[in-house]
Structure 1
């Protein structure tokens, strides 16, 4: 649904003498109907990337395709028509304070020429869809942060887009409201087949809603894949952020430290007792966590192994297809 190919965005300053590379050769593929997250800290290039997808920012080079149309090759009326298929919601809502919730939602429909009757019918549908029945006459100042974002989502969906871009859509909200907004986005994704590309600096957002994720750092993708697969790789950025680490624990002489990652059915297996029964090893559990990530149970164990059969125990982990890392 979205194809980003070798994208660069370079800003110049001081009359062209200085340069900042915000995007440094980004390539991503977002499948139709999935929720794809882009995770990174401030300054990583996330906002620039998402603004290039609908050409609010023109990339320096590279291309962005949405469906079978190259968005970065369009301008004028053709670009405006293409943008009708791409909804966008923002961190700070961007609602018009002088318009009611219903009037904010109707605004894009006015721009594309819907009649007053069609606008009213569509706005009522959207208010119901986002859980704001009866609040259409309220002004933004009369709404909570979560309600404002629901208006923003309804407005983004007004023209029936097949792609929704989310620019830090929950970072201005409290945790409980964040969860409810993410649940709404996931419901829209499942029931409408909506493709969602979201950027965030919050791991909890990725964990709750994303099918796949790309990690952005200094304008480059350093890691990408399904959330559960990355979480099950001991040395991945996602795993390091999700699971507690060893916190400086040092192994005793003659023993080794091992991080074992598992997902799916292996998360339910009696791994430690199995190792102890099969091999002449002592297993000291340092820390461990099991969580649900990307719809799958995923976990990590940090253990200290000692005894005669440590090598055989490590080989056994390999045979069982359990990813592990020896420290």
Structure 2
């Protein structure tokens, strides 16, 4: 059985799409394919003008740089401050470091962590750490944000805050978002929800927005 099989899906630019389904249904694999973390064995994935499935190494690296990722496990570097964690995706890129630091501080402020740039992850709550992870995902000005169970390690109240934040960022910046979640309440707050089972889409419904 393929992890993702016979998926025919079009996602409108600027929309928020929820992927739902039980563990093993193919949600994470589909996100990984969209983000070029994994390569498809067959079929075509096109994001904007980029045909991801046919892209060569250089073009694929450029594409990955245009995608932001938020994961269930925050994947913050414990020895780095909040600001430096946000800046981590830019370490391999040339640029004005002072301007990048200012941008990181702007993003920390946007996610509600203004003034906490020098804090270590161990000094912050789980919800605050996930906010850092969201700011890190935004530092490269992505056109596509992929979130894999972004509230999975959070209590329900904090999880709702994180989803509300993602939706507010979508409304402000217009980036396309795909959020994989087990939580049907989260799915209902998105513009559209896709349910998956055994690697296939079994329903496609409009959300509550």
**Scaled by the length of structure 2, what TM-score is found?**
0.96
Residue 81 (structure 1) aligns with: 62
Provide runs of 4+ in structure 1 moved above 3 Å: none
Residue 213 (structure 1) aligns with: 193
Could you say which structure has the larger radius of gyration?
Answer: 1
Query: Is 1:159 equivalent to 2:122 in the alignment?
Result: no
Q: Which residue, 180, 183, 196 being the options, matches 2:161?
A: 180
Q: 1:214 & 1:126 partners in 2: Cα distance? A: 30
Q: When the two structures are aligned, how many residues end up with a matched partner?
A: 209
1:22-81 per-residue CA deviation (whole Å, 9 max, x = no partner) reads: 111111111011111111000101111100111111111112111111112123221111
In structure 1, runs of 5+ residues without a counterpart are: 1-19, 228-293, 296-327
Query: Within 5 Å, which residues of 2 pair with 1:75-224?
Result: 75-208=56-189, 210-224=190-204
Query: Within 5 Å, which residues of 2 pair with 1:292-303?
Result: 294-295=208-209
Shift of 1:174: 0.3
For residue 26 of structure 1, give the secondary structure of its aligned residue in structure 2. Answer: coil
More relative contact order, 1 or 2 (CA 8 Å, 6+ apart): 2
Residue 7 (structure 1) aligns with: none
For residue 29 of structure 1, give the secondary structure of its aligned residue in structure 2. Answer: coil
Q: 2:20 & 2:71 partners in 1: Cα distance? A: 16
Shift of 1:93: 0.8
Shift of 1:186: 0.9
Q: 1:136 & 1:77 partners in 2: Cα distance? A: 33
1:129-180 per-residue CA deviation (whole Å, 9 max, x = no partner) reads: 1110111111111111111110000000001111100011111110110111
Residue 44 (structure 2) aligns with: 63
Shift of 1:112: 2.1
Q: Higher strand share goes to which structure?
A: 1
Residue 48 (structure 1) aligns with: 29
Q: 2:187 & 2:94 partners in 1: Cα distance? A: 37
Q: 2:44 & 2:77 partners in 1: Cα distance? A: 32
In structure 2, runs of 5+ residues without a counterpart are: none
For residue 24 of structure 1, give the secondary structure of its aligned residue in structure 2. Answer: coil
For residue 31 of structure 1, give the secondary structure of its aligned residue in structure 2. Answer: coil
Shift of 1:125: 1.0
